[in-house]
Amino acid sequence: MTQPLLQVKGLTKRFKDRTVVRDVAFSIAEGSCAALLGPNGAGKTTTISMLAGLLQPTSGSIQLLDQSKPVTDRRMFIGYLPQMPVFYPWMTGREFLRYAAELAGLAGRDAVLKTDEWLENVGLQHAASRRIGGYSGGMKQRLGLAQALIHRPKLLILDEPVSALDPAGRKDVLNLLQRIRLETTVLFSTHVLHDAEEICDEILMIREGEIALQGKLDQIRREYSEPVIRIEVGGDPVSLKWMASISSKAFVRQAEITGNRARLTVTDVEKASFELMADAVSHQVAFRKFESGQSTLEDLFLKVVQA
Ligand SMILES: Nc1ncnc2c1ncn2[C@@H]1O[C@H](COP(=O)(O)OP(=O)(O)OP(=O)(O)O)[C@@H](O)[C@H]1O
Ligand SMILES: [Mg+2]
């Protein structure tokens, strides 16, 4: 069993009389990558700000362990990239990283070496002498990652690292994160499930400040996947009437029907397929589309978020 690197218990944040993070508990094992997943306003930034030490929790505890011993000052062990990082546009990438290295306690030759190493790691060596004001969003985000990692933190915390980027920038940063996560424990927030699936092995879903679901990604996928049938029929009255009747079938556990389309969670895909087809034929209803399979993590995410 891997020792947790971070252990959070009962974490709560209240602003005046509003509780925006409530009794959040989780742990992150060394070497893992966890995604804090939730819709806008769920409390991701508030949670992350408390972990990064920028916001004082109303109650609860955050413990970081270094070689199984609790750390009193987390800051040197954490690398952090905020949701909207602010850079001095007149500085060059190299100057900024050098400055970040010195702030992180590196000095002289060490700071110079680390600056060059990280410029290269994030693919900015060619742009190192250009002003940050002229960088693209993706380049700025890669510079931000270099800044967060330059002191070799044990835990990298990123708040929506790709949300503001165009597809190319997004791909660059996600590729970089794939590499980083092999060496560093990572926690990042996102409202995009796909990004979480691409990089992480653990997810923490939060909704209205509370953990709604957490666990290993593959385990959750297995545990929550259900047989699903999606069908589409014509828009004629006979078809629509038939559509409205199918939710009462015995094999349907849950039905979402909108006009000529339906998504059915069923008890047994094969049995449900035969019966639906036979029933449609006997009512002279033709399918435009018929698809059977398993529910995806996206379905689960939407269900959790909208519950
Ligand atoms: N300083 C503050 N004072 C009062 N309310 C706040 C403060 N900061 C955040 N909130 C509220 O807390 C809730 C959670 O905000 P938070 O920024 O943590 O959400 P988020 O999940 O990061 O959302 P987004 O996806 O939009 O970044 C929101 O309703 C927000 O309005
Ligand atoms: Mg946020």
Give yes or no for a contact between 142 and 87, defined as CB atoms under 8 angstroms apart: no
Q: Is the CB of 88 under 6 A from ligand 1?
A: no
**Ligand 1 atom nearest to CA at 43:** 18
How many Å apart are CA 184 and CA 227, to the nearest integer?
Answer: 37
CB of 54 closer than 6 angstroms to any ligand 1 atom: no
Distant-in-sequence contacts of 94-100, Cβ < 8 A, 24+ apart: 94/119, 94/128, 94/129, 96/132, 96/143, 96/147, 97/143, 97/146, 97/147, 97/150, 100/146, 100/147, 100/150
**Quick one: what percent of the chain has pLDDT higher than 70?**
99
CB 165 within 8 A of CB 137: yes
* Three-state SS at 37: strand
Kind and range of the H or E run holding 72 = none
Domain residue spans of the chain:
4-222, 226-306
Helical H runs in 37-136? 44-51, 93-103, 108-121
Q: Is 282 in the pocket of ligand 1 (CB under 6 A)?
A: no
How does residue 305 score in pLDDT terms, banded at 50, 70 and 90?
Answer: confident
55 Cα: distance to centroid of ligand 1 (angstroms):
12
Q: Cα of 43 to ligand 1 centre, how many Å? A: 6
Ligand 1 pocket residue status of 82, Cβ below 6 Å: no
184 lines ligand 1 (CB under 6 A): no
For ligand 1, whether the C-beta of 127 sits within 6 Å is: no
191: Cβ below 6 Å to ligand 1?
yes
CATH number for 226-306: choose from 1.10.3470, 2.30.30, 3.30.70, 1.10.10: 3.30.70
Which residue's CA is minimally distant from atom 8 of ligand 1? 46
pLDDT in tens, 94-138: 999 999 999 888 888 999 999 999 999 999 999 999 999 999 999
Catalogue the E-assigned strands of 82-233: 155-159, 185-190, 202-207, 210-216, 227-233
Q: From the CB of residue 46, how many other CB atoms can be counted at a distance below 10 Å?
A: 19
- Expressed in angstroms and rounded, the spacing between residue 287 Cα and the centre of ligand 1 is 45
CA distance 64 to 8: 9
Ligand 2 centroid from CA 38, angstroms:
9
Using a 6 Å cutoff on CB, does residue 43 contact ligand 1? yes
Helix (H, G, I), strand (E, B) or coil at 187: strand
Q: What is the pLDDT, as a whole number, of residue 1?
A: 53
C-alpha 45 to ligand 1 mean position (Å): 7
For residue 82, the model assigns a pLDDT of 93
- Which CATH number does 4-222 carry? 3.40.50.300
User: Could you tell me the distance, in angstroms and rounded to a whole number, from the CA of residue 131 to the centre of ligand 2?
Assistant: 27
Q: What per-residue confidence (pLDDT) applies to 2?
A: 63
- Whether 304 and 298 have beta carbons less than 8 Å apart is answered as no
* Region 59-73 average pLDDT: 88
Residue 233 pLDDT exceeds 70: yes
Which pLDDT belongs to residue 302? 83
Written as six digits, the tokens of 243 are 């559509």
Same fold, 4-222 and 226-306: no
What is the number of the ligand closest to the CA of 43? 1
